[in-house]
Amino acid sequence: MSDYFSLHQDKIINSVIVLFIFFILKLIIGLIVRAIGKSKKILVSRAKIVARYFSVSIFLIALLIIAFIFGVNIDDLVVIFSSVFAIIGLALFASWSILSNVTSGIILFFSFPYKIGDKIRIHDKEFEIEAVIEDIRSYQIHLRKDNGDLITYPNNMLLQKAVTLIEKDAFDK
């Protein structure tokens, strides 16, 4: 066992450095996302979800770097990644709206001007929805109409439609 560590000491040290940098980046991104969430008065749970998305992305990049450190052949990685992406691509093609809604949820976190409690109107060709924002989740937004009906509206559709602010923080009434 000690022969293995002495033989691969440089690779192990470089891998530890990559993992250390990963954890530092994870902390920094988490702090930045929480600070943005706090400044925009966004729920902490939403900030944690967005930070988790970024952490997973950085972790995958760190794993790729560690694979290069240990000398994994690029051709082998190409075969593995093309197979994995083919399977993921088929799965996401079958449910493309999930990926679209998650991406829209991240965009809404950083740039959506309305907050929980605001009364909004969503304009569409066939209908208009006038409701209070009750919750903003990863896949959909929960809207509560005046008659008490709960509407779950997909995040990707919210980015495609015109939205008007009717009343700021309608819950404070």
* Alpha helices (H) along the chain: 2-7, 9-39, 44-69, 74-94, 96-111, 155-160
Residue 150: which pLDDT band, with cuts at 50, 70 and 90? very high
**Contact 62/18 with Cβ under 8 angstroms?**
yes
pLDDT at 46: 79
Average pLDDT over residues 102-127: 84
How far apart CA 54 and CA 147 sit, in angstroms, is 39
**pLDDT of 131 higher than 60:** yes
The vertex-52 CA angle with 61 and 26, nearest 5°, equals 60
Burial of 31 (0-12, 13-18, 19+ CB in 10 A): exposed
Higher pLDDT, 121 or 101: 121
What's this model's pTM, rounded to 2 decimal places? 0.60
Residue 92: which pLDDT band, with cuts at 50, 70 and 90? low
Q: Tokens representing 13?
A: 């040290």
